[in-house]
Amino acid sequence: MRLNKAVASAIFSSTLLAGSACAQDEPAAESSTTVAKPTFTPTTLKAPFLEQFTDDWDSRWTPSHAKKEDSKTAEDWAYVGEWAVEEPSVLPGMIGDKGLVVKNPAAHHAISAKFPKTIDNKGKTLVVQYEVKLQNGLECGGAYMKLLKDNKALHAEEFSNASPYVIMFGPDKCGATNKVHFIFKHKNPKTGEYEEKHLKSPPVAKTAKVSTLYTLIVKPDNTFEMLVDNASMKNGSLLEDFSPSVNPEKEIDDKDDKKPEDWVDQARIPDPDAKKPDDWDEDEPFEILDEEATKPDDWLEDEPTSIPDPEAEKPEDWDDEEDGDWIPPTVPNPKCEEASGCGKWEPPMKKNPKYKGKWTPEYIDNPAYKGVWAPRKIPNPDYFEDKTPANFEPMGAIGFEIWTMQKDILFDNIYIGHSVEDAAAFRKETWDVKRPAEDAEEAASKPKLEDKPKSPMDLVFKDDPVKYVKEKLELFITIAKKDPLEAIRFLPEVAGGIGVAVVTVLALLIGAIGLGSSSAAPSKDDMKKTAEKVKEKVVEAKDQAVDAASSGVETAKAEINKRTTRSSGAAE
């Protein structure tokens, strides 16, 4: 008689449940997604430029209707992206707090606002600070700002990528690019031309959906500091940490200087006096046949390595006339798995002890070596020294000129001025208040992961009796398919439960057969003796299983890991 898995599970469950107490249900803890949020109140702080996108924002900001300078077609390169001022729809942190929002994916956007007065930071500290909220994350696109050069040609409706700017600052991510830009334009005092100076090692941009605060501080001594979420991420000098450098080299290579023909720049050469040893044989192969190897006794030389699949069937729509004779696919010969191998036996290869390879002479120092040649230096005719690159050109406006694949990028709480203290005070009124509410909202909205045991061995019967029995039984059956003895050793309680259940079933079957037969029923003494023998055998088997339980741990460990991995993958 063969018990299927469902019957065995039911019998084993009843056996264990009969001797154990049921666990009491506990009420599940409820989590609330309601997070208390502050209410927006306009700041009373003053600055050369301060923007919170209040109801009169459109009196300051003007969308651009220009085309990019390198445009070829109006459809592909025009600034058709729309803008709106609205509250965030993802993880809002403050009631009534609105921001400037990019509304279209895969589109060029441009918008700008003139400053009430020209901002000139000569001899002053410059502080630029603003919030970026990536409501849909950021896969490919920019979220940086530009501080535009103050000039008569600054027309808001014509703002484009060609509009001259002084500073570009903010996050940018696409493909391998992921950084917070800090670029400034520097005027060459000799030629009058402007050149972009890029920060060499910019910090990485954050792509979370909560509000991220970006701060740039440039001091009159040419030092700068970049902060992300009020944490310092980069600091350095305008004179040392940008490429190309602000000031050119004092000396340059003389392009007319040529390396002499007799100049020797090879530091080491093959030893001209070295000779190949007489016993050096370059023709010896790396490997040779192992002549001492013998064919294993169980090698099946007459068996092919693969055979036609005995379970394969010719498709019903196969037409021999059109498709040709049907040939079943081949599968590995199962006989070869039980032996050392099949087919023609050939001795294996082994490393050749005589192998030395191609001979080459040893290298020695070159006595004629003169060193690495370099052209002589001459004064740089284009050299200049600007000791105050922090005195940027006067700035007349701020603009966002970006392209992005993600919509709903939100900008808010922009500060541009000269006071580190005022920028910090503005941060405390805004970002410091809303960000904790956003973090709490994000944490509350995440699905609660159920606390599940990492493996069947971590289960406790009283926590979930049905699951305990099911998982233990499935593990026992899985191990038993490979090694029944190890299954009994590793899970003796399961083996004992199944044993008792099987004995019970057999007894019931024997009883039923006995009642239905014409032979006389066994006497009470016979039944008593039989029961005592069965009891002795069960006790003996159980003791042996318990004694051997520890030896099966390592064998079953791999199987447990497989089941655990599957359970974890399903939960995720």
pLDDT 10s digits, 385-440: 999 999 999 999 999 999 999 999 999 999 999 999 999 999 999 999 999 999 99
Residue 365 has pLDDT above 50, yes or no: yes
Find the radius of gyration of the CA atoms of the chain: 41
| The listed CATH number (2.40.50.360, 3.40.50.2000, 2.60.120.200, 3.10.450.50) that belongs to domain 49-251+388-443 | 2.60.120.200
DSSP annotation string for 395-464: EEEEEEEEEESS--EEEEEEEEES-HHHHHHHHHHTHHHHHHHHHHHHHHHSPPPP---SSGGG--TTT-
Give per-residue pLDDT as tens, 125-181: 999 999 999 999 999 999 999 999 998 767 778 898 989 999 999 999 998 899 999
Do 309 and 331 meet the contact criterion of CB atoms below 8 Å apart?
yes
C-alpha closest to that of 144 among 402, 316, 322: 402
Which residues in the chain are classed under CATH 2.60.120.200?
A: 49-251+388-443
Report helix angle 5-18 to 465-482, nearest 10: 130
Residue 566 has pLDDT above 70, yes or no: no
| More confident site: 23 or 199 | 199
C-alpha closest to that of 230 among 216, 240, 244: 216
Do 459 and 467 meet the contact criterion of CB atoms below 8 Å apart?
yes
C-alpha closest to that of 420 among 36, 47, 71: 47
Write down the pLDDT at residue 522.
52
Report helix angle 431-445 to 420-429, nearest 10: 40
H-only helix segments in 295-419? 320-323, 334-338
The mean-pLDDT minimum among 7-11, 456-460, 501-505, 507-511 falls in 7-11
